[in-house]
Amino acid sequence: MVPAVLLLAVSACGAEPAPPAPGTGLPDRNSAASTCPEGGAEISALNGEAAMGLRVLTLEMRNCGTETLRIDGYPDVRLLDEDGQPLEVRVEHGSAAISRIDSFEVPPAGFALGPGDRATAGVVWRNTYDDTTHPPQVGAKIDIAPLAGLPRQVFTPRLGPDGGTPSPDSPATTIDLGSTGRIGLSPWRAPEGQGDRPRP
């Protein structure tokens, strides 16, 4: 994966059975004491980088439950504005439509995520604003399921200084899409040596 990093516009220094509509009925995990979400997987921002208008944010999924999870595919991501309303964003599997990143173009490989284990995935986008007829799009919250069809959760991404690993009191960051209206995703990957080996 892109150095375990999802370029997320760092504003700090800087998508099932009839799921609820984005921004309604899904509490933001960062607004209260964190508990293990339904489904047993907790997702948060791990780190982020920005360069020449290109953003990459690394997401981390932790198995906070008691059962082993089978992961094979991409996170199901929706972006919400600061009021919790969904943004019209095109979600791509891979990065080629934005800027080719080899680790984003590798196909998904299944693996087992045991209790306490972690996996990462990347989000990439560009911060370009060239349509003054519409205000720039800014994602303030991430509405996400580990895989399409699984229980969803909403969180406010936070990053430490210079896009590093966050702490509970780290400031919120944003996904500043400008007028591009598009993000790219990499598939979930387990750290080397963790979980079983990818299926062929």
Give the structural domain span for 136: 2-185
Establish if 15 belongs to a structural domain: yes
Does the residue 69 lie in any domain? yes
Query: Average of pLDDT values for 87-112?
Result: 96
Is 191 domain-assigned?
no
Kindly state whether residue 51 falls inside one of the protein's structural domains: yes
pTM value surpassing 0.75: yes
What is the predicted pLDDT for the residue at 168?
Answer: 84
Q: What is the pLDDT of residue 7?
A: 38
Number of domains observed in the structure of the chain? 1
Contact 9, 173 (CB under 8 A): yes
Q: How high does pLDDT run on average in the chain? A: 84
DSSP state of 83: T
Can you read off the two tokens belonging to residue 176? 């500043």
Query: In this structure, is residue 60 part of a structural domain?
Result: yes
Poorest-pLDDT segment among 8-12, 42-46, 95-99:
8-12
pLDDT in tens, 13-41: 333 333 334 344 455 555 444 689 999 99
User: Of 96 and 200, which is predicted with more confidence?
Assistant: 96
Reading the block at residue 193, the tokens are 């040596």
Tell me if residue 102 falls in helix, strand or coil: helix
CA angle 181, 187, 190 (to 5 degrees): 140
Asked, for residue 122, whether it belongs to a domain, the answer is yes
Residue 197 is assigned to a structural domain of this protein: no
- pLDDT, residue 17, reads 34
Q: Which pLDDT score, from 0 to 100, does residue 115 have?
A: 97
195 falls within a domain: no
How far apart are the C-alpha atoms of 122 and 56, rounded to whole Å?
7
β-pairing, 90-93 vs 182-185, is parallel
Residue 2 clears pLDDT 60, i.e. is over it: no
| pLDDT tens, residue by residue, 53-96 | 899 999 999 999 999 999 999 999 999 999 999 999 999 999 99
What percent of the chain has a predicted confidence (pLDDT) above 90?
72
